[in-house]
Amino acid sequence: MASKNSAEYYGSFKEISPIRAIAETLMNTHNVRKIDIREAYEMAKKQPGVNITDLPVYPEFVKLHNLPADAKVLDDCHGNIIGRTAKARRFYNRLDASKKNKVEGDLREAIWQMQHYPLVKAEAILGMDQDLMIKATFITTESDVNNVYNWLLNFAPYEQLREQYEKSPKLPIQDIILIAFNEWSKEDDPFYNNVGAPQLALVDEKHNVIVNLGMRYFGERKKGTLTLAWTSGIRIGMAACHGGIKELDFSTCEDPKYHGLGKRSIAFYGLSGTGKSSHTNSHDNAGTMPKGVSKVVLHDDAFQIDLENKLCRVWEPTLFDKTDSRPPDHPDWKYALAVMNHAVINLDGKRVPVGQDARNQNGRALLDRSLLGNYVNRCAFPKALVWLMKDSVLPPVLKLADKHLAIAMGAALMTQRNRAENVTEEELNKLVFEPFANPFRVYELYRDVEAFISVADNGADFYCFNSRGYWKESDDVLEAIPLKTSLTLQTAILLDQLEWEPWDALPGAFIPTRESIEKILPGYYDLYDPAKRGNLEQYQALLKNRFQQRREYLQESDLKEKPELQKAVVDALNLKI
């Protein structure tokens, strides 16, 4: 399915928002020059701040996009800001009339300034499956062309998928428009985020427009565009997923006893450091999968669940990864397309990017999806969805058999501050919530809650993995939960090897039975038995506190707009201790 341009989408042009009208006018200005990925690459090599390394671009990608045969990875180095700036976001559709009027005027002024610079635009397709494709246009200054190049790398140049796209039936969704203007000049204004100068990431999700003013970091372009794609999926009844998903085919196993399991998909949702990529990308789950099983990965970061057709579809053909754990000799560099904010060293006479955050934090790379091994553009509806949380009061694995409890735990997916952040003890005890591990949600939370309840109604099972450690004697003295243990539990879930018994503290939640888990992980039951926590009263007090925080968070959320839904998920978080 394909998106619609403004002329196709709007029954009356009075329905178009001023933000989209401004963006559309710029997009159709006669002196905005359209470029393709090859020209963007050649221009980017000359951009200030860009370093041409001696690391070759992944050869298969070079062939696919007809880049020069000797194309090299470009390193785009920024200044003070080397990550996304959430404080710069302003959501147009949440503003009152006065503030909308202000933003519209400031945007018109910014576009007037912008047109004093040489401008370029490029077109991409979001969505690699023919049944879910959205066209996007990115307009910016020539001085920002490396971001155009990276944006075309991250998604798919329109020319690559033109044939599939033009054969697709139309979606009731507008094309996406992205505008960026790094040189935005404006006096200090308390309405905007100011870091030396004002910054604005303006989101109009109802009309599929995003604007970056005074912000040069590529992640603003990537996640801004992807945010509109996720939201478009929500608008047509799908579930948006900031997570990873893989599909296992057990019919290829050497042992025929596994053949009856067929194909099974499992998805993982978690914030940084919870193990999302480790679970998604592991082929044999630390040697616990049966021999001969076949694995394909849809993506390790972003996809959409099509509830009507019971499929999952991918948005991007590449990965945008942190590189703090990848030294110069790491095998992943074979798949490199571009890097950002990397130190470059002379190694044996070659300019080599150093991916270990030597220059600054949050060094990033665009990598071809081939790094994941065999990949697909659509996969089976998930048999299992896993919330990954670093919560010391939770056992290593819970099966969430009650659907409202399952969705409540996803909607109140949490993290914690740590002592390295120099905060008070009171702040340390406060949970930080990121529903469904998606900080890019720009629509009401109840829409995600409704979507994931539909996922449950369509037969998916839900689980929660604790990837921090389980209370042993205190919140600081924990029983370790090794990654191999979690990977083994993942395998056991996929192979139907576990039987479950109620966790007495939380109705609707279950833990593995002694008999089933001891066959797989000897000693597990006694090690992680909730009843055997040291200082049990303190443990139970902290357990109550954390679930009370979950309830309060959902009670204060926009679930208020759906009272029956809110009551169902909040009541599901009631403990029995």
- Of 158, 139, 125, give the one whose Cα is nearest residue 36: 158
> Which CATH number is associated with domain 2-37+84-238?
3.40.449
* pLDDT digits (tens), the chain, 577 positions: 599 999 999 999 999 999 999 999 999 999 999 999 999 999 999 999 999 999 999 999 999 999 999 999 999 999 999 999 999 999 999 999 999 999 999 999 999 999 999 999 999 999 999 999 999 999 999 999 999 999 999 999 999 999 999 998 899 999 999 999 999 999 999 999 998 889 999 999 999 999 999 999 999 999 999 999 999 999 999 999 999 999 999 999 999 999 999 999 999 999 988 999 999 999 899 999 999 999 999 999 999 999 999 999 999 999 999 999 999 999 999 999 999 999 999 999 999 999 899 999 999 999 999 999 999 999 999 999 999 999 999 999 999 999 999 999 999 999 886 655 555 777 777 899 999 999 999 999 999 999 999 999 999 999 999 999 999 999 999 999 999 999 999 999 999 999 999 999 999 999 999 999 999 999 999 999 999 999 999 999 999 999 999 999 999 999 999 999 999 999 999 999 9
- Of 344, 345, 332, 342, give the one whose Cα is nearest residue 363: 342
- Identical fold between 2-37+84-238 and 243-300+381-571: no
Three-state SS annotation for 179-195: EEECCCCCCCCCCCEEC
- Of 488, 502, 288, give the one whose Cα is nearest residue 396: 488
Q: Are 11 and 181 in contact (CB under 8 A)?
A: no
Q: Are 382 and 391 in contact (CB under 8 A)?
A: no
- Of 38, 29, 182, 20, give the one whose Cα is nearest residue 110: 182
| Second-level CATH architecture of 243-300+381-571 | Alpha-Beta Complex (3.90)
Enter the DSSP assignment of 286. T
Full-model pTM? 0.94
| 503 burial type by CB count under 10 A (0-12 exposed, 13-18 middle, 19+ buried) | middle
The residues with which 303 forms a beta bridge, in sequence order, are 241, 314
Residue owning tokens 């993942």: 490
- Of 102, 117, 111, give the one whose Cα is nearest residue 25: 111
Q: What is the C-alpha to C-alpha distance for residues 510 and 209, in angstroms, rounded to an integer? A: 44
Residue owning tokens 């904010």: 341
Amino acid at 68: P
Q: How far is CA 574 from the centre of its chain?
A: 30
The residues with which 188 forms a beta bridge, in sequence order, are none
Q: What is the C-alpha to C-alpha distance for residues 151 and 523, in angstroms, rounded to an integer? A: 49
> What does the block give as tokens for 246?
């893989």
Residue owning tokens 């990837």: 467
Say whether 226 sits in a helix, a strand or coil: helix
Q: Are 416 and 390 in contact (CB under 8 A)?
A: yes
Q: What is the C-alpha to C-alpha distance for residues 356 and 328, in angstroms, rounded to an integer? A: 9
> What does the block give as tokens for 168?
């697709």
Enter the DSSP assignment of 326. B
Helix or strand run (H / E) with residue 519: none
| DSSP assignments along 429-481, one per residue | HSEEE-GGG-TT--S-HHHHHHHHHHHHHTT-EEEEEE-S-EESSSSSSEE--
Residue spans per domain, the chain: 2-37+84-238, 243-300+381-571
Q: Please give the sequence-ordered ranges of beta strands (E in DSSP) within 142-227, or none if there are none.
A: 156-157, 170-174, 176-181, 193-194, 198-204, 209-213
Residue owning tokens 């110069």: 328
> What does the block give as tokens for 253?
């196993």
Q: What is the C-alpha to C-alpha distance for residues 401 and 570, in angstroms, rounded to an integer? A: 16
The residues with which 126 forms a beta bridge, in sequence order, are 134
Enter the DSSP assignment of 507. T
- Of 213, 176, 219, 175, give the one whose Cα is nearest residue 195: 213
> What distance separates the 2 farthest-apart alpha carbons in the chain?
73
